Amino acid sequence: MWDRILDRLLRDLFATGALQVTYPDGTTRRYGDAGARPVRVTMTDPALPRQLVLNTEIALGEAYMDARLTVGGDDIEGLLALAVTNSARRDRVWWREIGQNLRRARRRFDQWNPAGRARANVAHHYDLSGALYDLFLDADRQYSCAYFATPDMTLEQAQAAKKHHIAAKLLLKSGMEVFEIGCGWGGMALTLARDYGVKVLGVTLSEEQHKIATERAAAAGLSDRVRFELRDYRSVTGQFDRIVSIGMFEHVGVPHYRTFFDTVHDRLKDDGVALIHTIGRSTPPGTTSPWILKYIFPGGYVPALSEMAAAVEKAGLYPTDIEVWRLHYAETLRHWHDRFVANEDKARALYDDRFCRMWRYYLKACEVTFRHHGQCVFQYQMTRRQEAVPLTRDYLYPADRPQRMAAE
């Protein structure tokens, strides 16, 4: 029965591209464009058709992790791209709408991240072995979207370009005090202190990140200018000349947006500047993939610009610049995936084969979403006074900027 139901659902879903499915009983069926080259999928678990009907996204990811579903040539990118492009069609499939409505109904619960829950959510992902992240990140451990100012940039060059692009938007002067909300492994804070002469307070909820960032500051001789604290951003007091947050806002959750931007307002000096760098969606407010919530980023959510803007307005902050990066993160994820695959034996030694399949699925699923499903990156600059930044963006693009970026 479940094979027949899944067969009907797949016939409704796939209007472009082609999918060939071999069911657990050995039956093979084809869906989509008859003239297209199909992505070939084989299911070996008799329970999988039922699971895919009842909870498609969770079941698909778990089946790939467990090798109960295999893809010809391990073309998981092809499968996910096919699924995403068909799911995003304007003529929405009725059974997809039911699942979306159920997810919308519980999204405030999924995104409820008070301090204690936020700490547990962060530990789930960021307190994994530091050796894992060394396998696919750049040497500075930048775990956010790189900035490919030119297409031929290496990952290291593009991550350095990202940091300096953000620094330019912060309009830094030597001696300023900077508050970094979500400091990661310390790379941004150390760059700002070393290259721009500022003092930085960086906060994180990850014990692993805090430990490594503190060690890096000491090794660089910057402990007198950079301080990392294991604490929630909401508990910080005082005011700062600049506030920066890179790749942390995705973990805040819509119920806490007003608190986040109220904190930015209250921690920012009257002539201060803040820059929030976050993954965003070009579509209206939505929900997070249940597989991503369960296995990768519990409590995570990618905001629509309308959701951010409403909270910024209510906090009394002035939006002074909004920049949208489109395929930069897709390229970043491609680099990360390829590096991870090249080091997969080392990752398997740290964890196991199931973890490696999960991580490859995660990286490719995210890349495909940026390429085919409207995700992007927002860089949202804001102030308490509109005169705090220049009236044009010329200051971001001095004549020698491309040469300086390429030299990094």
Tally of CA atoms within 13 A in the half-sphere of 127 that contains its CB: 12
Local structure of 205: helix, strand or coil: coil
CB 58 within 8 A of CB 290: yes
Active site residue 366: yes
Question: Can you tell me the distance from the alpha carbon of 127 to that of 111, in angstroms, rounded to the nearest whole number?
Answer: 20
CB 195 within 8 A of CB 252: no
The secondary structure element, H or E, covering residue 313 is helix 305-314
Q: Return the HEC string of 61-118.
A: HHHHHCCCEEEHHHCHHHHHHHHHHHHCCCCCCHHHHHHHHHHHHCHHHHCCCCHHHH
Among residues 145, 183, 356, 366, which one is catalytic?
366
CB 207 within 8 A of CB 176: no
Residue type, 130: G
The token duo for 23 is 């069911």
Which phi and psi angles does 230 have, rounded to 5°?
Answer: -90, 90
The token duo for 24 is 């657990």
Q: Return the HEC string of 181-202.
A: ECCCCCHHHHHHHHHHCCEEEE
Question: Can you tell me the distance from the alpha carbon of 351 to that of 134, in angstroms, rounded to the nearest whole number?
Answer: 14
The token duo for 107 is 């999204």
The secondary structure element, H or E, covering residue 280 is strand 268-281
Residues in CB range of 104: below 8 A, 6 or more apart: 286, 287
Local structure of 395: helix, strand or coil: helix
Q: What is the DSSP letter of 389?
A: S
Q: List active site positions.
A: 366
